[in-house]
Every structure is written in structure tokens, then in C-alpha cells.
Amino acid sequence: MSLVSSTTFTKYTCFLIYNKIISTYVFIGSSGSLLNQLRNQYGIAAHPVSNAFYVADTYNDRIMYFVVGNPNGTVIAGGNGYGLNSNQLSIPVDLQFDTPSNSIIIANCDGRNVVRWTLGASNWTLIADNSTGIGDCPRDVTTDPMGNIYIADTSNARVQLYPVGATNGTTIADTTNVGSSNAPLLAFPYSLVFDSQLNLYVSDYHNHQILKFMRY
């Protein structure tokens, strides 16, 4: 889940009482492939304006759009079965809503790529894959306010930066010192998030740690 400021989602009707969060359910479903069902979903991102959110419905190989209060969603990406064609997704694990392009950026695990699906389109366009600098099953993707794309290139134990317009990634954090002589090392980067100062936080699964990389 990418918790950048433009896509932070909290549960509907949320109250803070004595430092405890009390919330109601936004969506209660059962496992399945109907429009009111999900199957082992992972990533979630809120629409920055409307009272709605997007879900990586991972094992249905689709991205769903839900308006809070309506139990039935809309398939806005994938939904054409598991596969590697440009109108299909294959185990999408995370997503990011990109406001400038009105699109969803998707970490497409079994496709071994990160793709962009413009809302209303019938297929994706490629952002990154094995040929442009990422390995198997990217686990997370996020963007900064300038439109640069950051990918948790998990199998290669690194974070890749794709500047606006770039077709090849640049490693900004990995298993060696990057950026400074005392930069921490990564083993299995799983999730990425920026704070308001654009410092990057990385959840490093196998090392049981959260790392902070200062803005550079």
C-alpha cells in the first residue's frame, strides 16, 4: 500500500477517542469474482477528490473501483483473466493513482513489470520490466509530486527510480551503500512511502526494519 499524501485512505467514519481509532467497515465482501467480491486483495489507493477508492484485486487479476457506500465495484483494469497480454493483469499486488495522467500505475507481480493503465483504456502501457531495470515481482510503486516513479524492485533487493520520461531505471537504494557512505542496506524491499518532506521510507521485510532515505 502506498501511503503518499494524494492516496492516503482511512476507513469511512473514523473517530479518535482516547488515542484509539474506532472505525466502521467500508467494504465487507466474500471471496469471489462478482462485482461485490474480492479475492485476496492487496494494494489500495484513494481517489484524491471523490469519496472512492481503487483496490488491487490480486487473485482476480483486476483493479476495482469502489464508491464508498456502494457494495458493487467497477472493473477499471484487467478482468480478462490471468495473462501477459496488454489487456490482462497477472497478480497485481499494488497500485498508485496518478492524478496528472488520470491513470493507475500497477505493480504487476507475475507479469514482472510495472504498467500504466489510463482510466477508460482497454489496455496498459509499459513503464518498467526486466529489460528496463527491474526483476521478478515488483512489490510496490509510488510517485512523487514531480511525477517521478519509484519501484520496490524486491527480487533485486533495491529501489529503482524512473524519472519523468525515462525508459531505464536508476538504483537509489540497494544492498550496497547508495547515496552516502553510511546508507543502510536492503534485503527485501516490500513497501514504499514518502513523508511530507519527500523523505522515502522503505519497509525491508527480511531485515525486519523500516529504513528512511533522506531526500536528495
Q: Give the pLDDT confidence of 154-173 residue by residue, as tens digits.
A: 989 889 999 998 989 999 88
Mean pLDDT of 19-26: 52
Over range 204-213, report the average pLDDT.
84
| Phi, then psi, of 105 in degrees rounded to 5 | -100, 125
pLDDT band at 26 (very low <50, low <70, confident <90, very high): low
Taking the model in full, what pTM does it have?
0.83
Q: Evaluate whether 43 touches 56 at the Cβ level (below 8 Å).
A: yes
Report pLDDT for 37.
Answer: 93
Classify 14-213 by CATH class.
Answer: mainly beta
Extents of the domains making up the chain: 14-213
Burial zone of 172 (CB within 10 Å; 0-12 exposed, 13-18 middle, 19+ buried): middle
Sign of CA dihedral 25, 192, 106, 8: positive
pLDDT tens per residue, range 36-83: 999 999 999 999 888 899 999 999 999 999 998 898 999 999 999 999
Question: What distances in angstroms separate CA 92 from CA 62, 105, 128, 138, one per listed residue?
Answer: 7, 10, 14, 9
Would you tell me how many other CB atoms lie within 10 Å of the CB of residue 204? 20
Task: Indicate the pLDDT class of residue 111, thresholds 50, 70 and 90.
Answer: very high
Residues contacting residue 43 through CB under 8 Å, at least 6 positions apart = 1, 2, 55, 56, 92, 93, 94, 95, 107, 140
Determine how many CB atoms are found less than 10 A away from the CB of residue 126.
15
Residue owning grid cell 496488454: 86
Average pLDDT rounded to a whole number, residues 106-122: 97
